[in-house]
Amino acid sequence: MIIKRTKHFKPEVATSSLNDIMFFLLLFFLIVSSLANPNVIKLLLPNSKSSQTLNKQQITISVTKDKEYFIDSHKVNFDDIEPMLKAQISTLQEPTVILRLEYTLTVQDLADLLEIGTRLKVKMVMATNKTPGS
């Protein structure tokens, strides 16, 4: 005698919790990506056709469009830049100071910072954005 089953097994994948998992993954990656560079000061840098990367010990001076000065993400007054820079470069072998100035600032603002570098006899370079297609 052949016994026939009345209920057939139908395989299913429970996908009701996948939406929650995807939401939490998205939230996690958004939070982690914002914490990846917490000390970055947002500036619109001038463009250039070529770029060069530096592997030496670096100190970054950033100047916003409102003329707020930062040394490695620490806000300083313009008059305090030279003594703080002198203290930082005394501990480094071959320091390089990277100038990150908003592109709307004047050449005089750049010249004032370069003058400080000349007095301290330190190498200074200006950060730029590489133009696309170059």
Return the pLDDT at 70: 92
Q: Which residues contact 119 (CB under 8 A, 6 or more apart)?
A: 82
Q: What is the pLDDT of residue 1?
A: 64
- The pLDDT, as a whole number, for residue 133 is 58
Sign of CA dihedral 110, 111, 115, 121: positive
* Fold (CATH) for 47-130: Nucleotidyltransferase; domain 5 (3.30.420)
In this predicted structure, what is the pLDDT of residue 26?
A: 92
The tens place of each residue's pLDDT in the chain, 134 residues long, gives 677 777 777 888 778 888 888 999 999 888 887 766 655 666 666 666 666 665 567 888 989 889 899 998 889 999 998 999 888 888 888 888 888 888 888 888 889 988 988 898 888 888 877 766 55
Q: Tell me, what's the pLDDT at 45?
A: 65
Cβ-Cβ contacts under 8 Å for 50 (sequence gap 6 or more): 130, 134
To which residue do tokens 């914002």 refer?
A: 34
pTM of the entire predicted model: 0.58
On the 0-12 / 13-18 / 19+ scale of CB atoms within 10 A, 101 is buried
